Structure formats: structure tokens, C-alpha cells
Structure 1
Amino acid sequence: MVNAPPPFVPGAFVGIEHHYRARVYFEDTDLSGIVYHANYLRYMERARSDMLRLAGIDQRAAMEDGEGAWAVTDLSIKYRSPAKLDDDLLVVSTVEVVRGASVIIAQRILRTNDTLSGETLTDGRVTAAFLSPTGRPRRQPADWVQRFTAIMNGDNIPC
């Protein structure tokens, strides 16, 4: 008898926030067991990608169809406290601004070993612009703007 693997559990929307769980593994840390600074950006990227997928925004199809792709054009991050080996993390993402060719998403990473209202480790804000295949800014698909606006306003997410 072959056992099926457990189902993949993505993040989820909780009101206007997208919640994405992560765990700190050895490969994420430096010799002292502290998460290497660039890995916080990886956790945030994974959370944003998961949020878009759950909202019905198909980035891969847009690239394969020659429409374009997202690129981070501005990023700010503040490190407040270090994450450590084996910590359970929660990445909380909130859409703040939607424009024709870009979106601004605020993100924070919390340590949640014992509670979902854990300690904030990192705050960040990302501006992502939609670019044509030649790298020029272009308007994102209209239904994407609608989806981002629905998320931002706490409306039902059109999937």
C-alpha cells in the first residue's frame, strides 16, 4: 500500500492580511544559529508569491504568454530582533497601494513559537512593478488591479 503525501498547506487570507507560515532551518542560519539577513527577503518573497496565487493572479501564465513579469523596484526593511534556528515564523502581508503598473505590499515577520500574536522580528515594504518582456513598465492586467483592490479593501477576493 502506497501512502499519499500530506496535502500542501499554503498561506491563507485572514481579513485583509495574508498569513504564511515558515520555519527556520539550519540552512537559513549563520554559524551562530541566527537567520542570515537576506533570508528574511526570501521568506517575504515566498509569502507574496503565495498571496498572489491564492488571489488568482497567475504570474507564470503572464510570463509564458509574453505579457510581462513582476520586478521589485523598491524595498525597505527594518530588522528588529533575530530569528533563530527552529523558530516558527509567520509572514503577514498587507496590500497598501494599488496603481496601474505597480503594487505596494507591507510585510512583517513574527516569531510564533507559542502564539500567533508573536514578537515582530522584521518589518518591510515592497514596491513591485509590472514590466513588459523588454523590461519597460506596463499596466498590469485589469483583473489583477481588481483583485489587489479587493484584498486591500477586505472585499471577497475574486478567484
Structure 2
Amino acid sequence: MANAPPPFIPGAFVGAAHHYRARVYFEDTDLSGIVYHANYLRYMERARSDMLRIAGIDQRAAMDAGDGSWAVTDLTIKYRRPAKLDDDLLVVSTVEAVRGASVIIAQRILRGTDTLSGETLTDGQVTAAFLSPEGRPRRQPAGWADRFTAIMNGEKIPC
């Protein structure tokens, strides 16, 4: 097909950092064309989910098996500059700490498509805990902590 859209391109790891691209659409903005504050959290969530998927951490399989799911237990965010309609964004995520039942991920949203020339719009840090179906903290499934540690250290993700 001559006018077929390009295939979906997910985020990718660049060393120890996961890069995820997004674009600001009209639905993301308020009446002034500036991104509504809660939508930065959506961009960050999508980037984290993409990072886990690429790393082989199958959240859906864990939920379907009744093992549990991730929940954000702590979040800090600093808004530095506003994103605007039609901006290209880059969400850069790095694993900062890995614990038995949780992981801490730092995230930065930039205007532009690379970390060298992009303007930092938002910085955040998220702690996500793995919870049992009853809502209690539970150790991550076997191998997940190893994958997060490999990501944090910029190593090849174990199979």
C-alpha cells in the first residue's frame, strides 16, 4: 500500500534509560493549548508500561494468573515548563532502586526527541509496589527483580 501508516514503534532502551516518544494531542490540553497537569502522569505511565513490556515483565500474565499487579505507592513530580499542543515529547525512564516487592523509577519528560537538545518539562519519581490480589505487598514474580537490576545497571536483560 502506498499510503499505509508506518508500523507501531515502541520505546527502546538506550543504555540504562528507556526512551518513549509521545505527541501532545488536542485532547491532552486545556483551553489555552497547554497540557493538563494530570496528563503528564499518563505519559509517564505509558512509558513505564512500555519499559516493562520490552524488558519481558508480563504484567497481564501476572494479573491473569492471580499473582497480583503493580500499584503506585509514592509519586513526586516537578513541573518545570508547559508542554503545548503538537509538541513532540520524550519520556526518559531509569530504574533507581529495586526491592523485593517494589521498584523506584525516575522519569523525565522533555520537549524534543533527544536528551541532549530536549528541554526538560517535568521530572518525577515513582515507587511501584507489587501487590497480591488482596492488596497486600508481595514479592515480585521470579526473575522480575533480576530484570529491573539489569536495567538499572545498563546490562543486557536476562531471558
TM-score grouping bracket, smaller chain normalisation: over 0.9
Q: Following TM superposition, by how much is the alpha carbon of 1:8 offset from its aligned partner in structure 2, in angstroms? A: 1.1
Instruction: Find the aligned partners of 2:24 and 2:3 in 1 and give their Cα distance.
Output: 27
Instruction: Find the aligned partners of 1:56 and 1:143 in 2 and give their Cα distance.
Output: 10
Q: Following TM superposition, by how much is the alpha carbon of 1:117 offset from its aligned partner in structure 2, in angstroms? A: 2.5
Q: Following TM superposition, by how much is the alpha carbon of 1:157 offset from its aligned partner in structure 2, in angstroms? A: 1.3
Instruction: Find the aligned partners of 1:4 and 1:23 in 2 and give their Cα distance.
Output: 20
TM-score (norm 1): 0.95
Structure 1: gaps of 5 or more residues: none
Match of 1:30 in 2: 30
Relative to structure 1, the CA distance from residue 62 to residue 113 in structure 2 (aligned partners, 3 Å threshold; closer, same or farther) is closer
Q: Compute the RMSD of aligned alpha carbons.
A: 1.7
Q: Following TM superposition, by how much is the alpha carbon of 1:139 offset from its aligned partner in structure 2, in angstroms? A: 0.2
Instruction: Find the aligned partners of 2:35 and 2:7 in 1 and give their Cα distance.
Output: 28
Instruction: Find the aligned partners of 1:59 and 1:8 in 2 and give their Cα distance.
Output: 20
C-alpha contact (below 8 Å) 1:150/1:157 kept by paired residues: yes
1:121 corresponds to 2:121: yes
1:144 corresponds to 2:106: no
TM-score (norm 2): 0.95
Match of 1:72 in 2: 72
SS in 2 for 1:129: strand
Match of 2:156 in 1: 156
Identity %: 87
Match of 2:16 in 1: 16
The size of the alignment, in residue pairs, is 159
Match of 1:40 in 2: 40
Instruction: Find the aligned partners of 2:84 and 2:90 in 1 and give their Cα distance.
Output: 13
Instruction: Find the aligned partners of 1:117 and 1:3 in 2 and give their Cα distance.
Output: 32
2-11 vs 19-28, greater mean Cα deviation: 2-11
Relative to structure 1, the CA distance from residue 107 to residue 146 in structure 2 (aligned partners, 3 Å threshold; closer, same or farther) is same
Q: Deviations over 1:98-155 (max 9, x none)?
A: 0000000000000006885310000000000000000000000130000000000111
125-134 vs 111-120, greater mean Cα deviation: 111-120
Instruction: Find the aligned partners of 1:24 and 1:115 in 2 and give their Cα distance.
Output: 18
Relative to structure 1, the CA distance from residue 4 to residue 88 in structure 2 (aligned partners, 3 Å threshold; closer, same or farther) is closer
SS in 2 for 1:42: helix
Match of 2:62 in 1: 62
